[in-house]
């Protein structure tokens, strides 16, 4: 199998411009992805630094190191005001805590804007407290912050759920080093939590009273997404959407193969969502979907509103994965990370008239998807080819 010659569409994160992510094949541009995101956003660039990207420009993200991924995220709002201005009065300095800008250590965005926090106390309530009650976020929110030591290593309580003693106190205890790391803590119990607390010293094991911090974020969702800077008001980053319509000539109609390589944040609390979908203007769909209440995916084919076949074996996926779906009447199969998942499906496959494809379909509620490559074939690849294609 010659992957490049046999594929009808090859997407690999490379060239982008506003509204478009270029595909490597077809070379005439007919397979380039249409991209929308009606807000600015941030990414980690090739130098490993956080930078802002203009509205409707695809984000080629390098947060995992190595090759770039097309970053597709759900809509999120950072409710913490003055997210990186810790000297502002909204950040109340408790029990003698002080802040200052470090003169020589660069922050994760490559500039000299990281903040030294000195708690001066290991007592309860020491540190910085930011409360934005006007946009307090509900249960299921996640707080995150970048932090490191000035030198050496140690433990600090960077994040807390609320401010009262009824909230957990040891949950936000983290190990800091001389490398910048992003730490996060998800709220699963408090009804509303507009507080952002940095440096509370009551946790057993706290050893640091001085360290560096960068960009505080409090967002509704069960994992932290890319950085959303704020000043005087909460800021919303709109969901990323990548799709291509009118490409029936590139999609196998009675047989074909779909291939995806991606890194995905999969969480049981999320509802059913699609990470890949091809469909017609009507009800015919072939899709890979994260299932409600599970850390797993299934593959389904629906023609004319009727489910023709479902891969009954859940595919447990987290981290970098390679999935291939091969479909043909009497001979459809799913491979994940080098192995066939479930038995070969023998259902009839016809009448699809597929013309459109979507990544991370639906929008605001979607999980994070870092797409590393995607290929379409108009033939059903052999099982041996599928195993080779999906081996990690």
Place of tokens 């541009």: 29
Structure confidence at residue 146 (pLDDT): 98
Where does residue 219 fall: left (phi above 0), alpha (psi -120 to 50 degrees), or beta otherwise? beta
Query: What are the 10-residue block averages of pLDDT along the chain, 392 residues in total?
Result: 85 95 96 96 96 98 88 92 96 91 96 92 74 69 94 91 52 91 83 77 79 95 92 94 93 90 66 71 70 69 68 64 87 88 73 81 66 94 94 88
Structure confidence at residue 141 (pLDDT): 83
C-alpha distances out from residue 36 to 73, 313, 314, 328, Å:
12, 33, 31, 33
Q: Which two tokens stand for residue 71?
A: 């970053």
Q: Are 50 and 107 contained in the same domain? A: no
Q: Are 249 and 376 contained in the same domain? A: yes
Q: Which two tokens stand for residue 334?
A: 């799913």
Give the Cα separation of 392 and 388 in Å (integer): 9
Domain extent at residue 376: 3-74+239-390
Point out the domain boundary residue: 237, 263, 280.
Answer: 237
DSSP state of 25: B
Task: State the SS3 of 304-336.
Answer: CCEEEEECCCCEECCEEEEEEEEEECCCEEEEE
Q: What is the CATH number of the domain that holds 353?
A: 2.60.120.200
Measured in whole angstroms, how far is the alpha carbon of residue 362 from the centre of its chain? 15
Count structural domains, the chain.
2
Q: Are 92 and 211 contained in the same domain? A: yes
Q: Are 175 and 195 contained in the same domain? A: yes
Q: Are 83 and 232 contained in the same domain? A: yes
Q: Are 305 and 197 contained in the same domain? A: no
Q: Are 172 and 229 contained in the same domain? A: yes
Count CA atoms within 13 Å of residue 155 on its CB side: 13
Point out the domain boundary residue: 174, 204, 237.
Answer: 237
Structure confidence at residue 284 (pLDDT): 72
Q: What is 286-297 written as a DSSP string?
A: EEEEEPTTSSEE
Is residue 357 within 8 Å of residue 256, measured between CB atoms? no
Q: Are 54 and 28 contained in the same domain? A: yes
Structure confidence at residue 147 (pLDDT): 98
Where does residue 95 fall: left (phi above 0), alpha (psi -120 to 50 degrees), or beta otherwise? left
Give 136-189 pLDDT, tens digit per residue.
666 678 899 999 999 999 999 888 776 554 444 456 789 999 999 999 988 776
Q: What is the CATH number of the domain that holds 208?
A: 2.60.120.260
Q: Phi first, then psi: what are they for 29, rounded to 5°?
A: 90, -5
Structure confidence at residue 352 (pLDDT): 66
Point out the domain boundary residue: 169, 204, 237.
Answer: 237
Structure confidence at residue 294 (pLDDT): 63
Q: Are 260 and 215 contained in the same domain? A: no
What are 119's strand-pairing partners?
none
Structure confidence at residue 58 (pLDDT): 98
Q: Are 117 and 216 contained in the same domain? A: yes
C-alpha distances out from residue 283 to 151, 222, 254, 286, Å:
59, 31, 16, 10
CA angle 155, 160, 165 (to 5 degrees): 110
Burial class (CB in 10 A: 0-12, 13-18, 19+), 330: exposed
Give 274-296 pLDDT, tens digit per residue.
677 787 766 677 777 766 666 66
Residues with Cβ within 8 Å of residue 344, at least 6 apart in sequence = 331, 332, 333
Q: Are 199 and 84 contained in the same domain? A: yes
CB atoms within 10 A of CB 169: 17
Asked, as a colleague might, if the bond just before 26 is cis with ω within 30 of 0, I would say yes
Q: Are 149 and 105 contained in the same domain? A: yes
């Amino acid at each position: 199998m010659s992957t490049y010659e046999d594929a009808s569409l090859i997407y690999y994160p490379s060239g982008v411009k506003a509204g478009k992510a270029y595909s490597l094949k077809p070379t005439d541009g007919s397979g380039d992805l249409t991209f929308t995101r009606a807000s600015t956003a941030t990414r980690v660039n090739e130098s490993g630094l956080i930078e802002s990207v203009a509205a409707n420009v695809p984000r080629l993200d390098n947060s995992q190191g190595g090759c770039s991924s097309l970053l597709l995220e759900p809509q999120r709002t950072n409710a913490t005001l003055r997210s990186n201005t810790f000297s502002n009065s909204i950040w109340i300095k408790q029990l003698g805590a002080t802040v200052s800008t470090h003169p020589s250590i660069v922050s994760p965005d490559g500039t000299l804007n990281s903040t030294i926090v000195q708690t001066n106390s290991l007592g309860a309530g020491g540190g910085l407290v930011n409360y934005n009650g006007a946009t307090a976020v509900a249960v299921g929110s996640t707080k995150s912050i970048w932090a490191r030591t000035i030198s050496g290593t140690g433990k600090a309580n960077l994040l807390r759920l609320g401010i009262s003693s009824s909230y957990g106190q040891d949950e936000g205890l983290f190990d800091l080093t001389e490398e910048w790391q992003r730490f996060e803590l998800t709220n699963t119990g408090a009804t509303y939590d507009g507080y952002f607390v940095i440096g509370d010293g009551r946790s057993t094991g706290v050893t640091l009273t001085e360290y560096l911090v960068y960009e505080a974020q409090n967002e509704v969702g069960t994992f932290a997404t890319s950085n959303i800077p704020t000043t005087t008001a909460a800021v919303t980053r709109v969901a990323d959407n990548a799709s291509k319509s009118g490409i029936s000539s590139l999609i196998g109609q009675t047989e074909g193969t779909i291939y995806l390589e991606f890194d995905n944040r999969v969480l049981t609390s999320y509802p059913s969502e699609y990470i890949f979908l091809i469909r017609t203007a009507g009800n015919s769909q072939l899709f890979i979907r994260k299932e409600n209440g599970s850390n797993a995916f299934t593959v389904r084919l629906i023609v004319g509103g009727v489910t023709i076949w479902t891969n009954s074996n859940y595919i447990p996926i987290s981290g970098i994965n390679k999935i291939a779906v091969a479909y043909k009447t009497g001979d459809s199969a799913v491979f994940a990370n080098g192995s066939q998942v479930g038995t070969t499906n023998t259902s009839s496959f016809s009448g699809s008239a597929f013309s459109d494809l979507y990544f991370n379909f639906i929008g605001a509620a979607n999980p994070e998807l870092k797409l590393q490559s995607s290929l379409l074939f108009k033939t059903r690849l052999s099982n041996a080819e599928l195993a080779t294609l999906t081996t990690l």
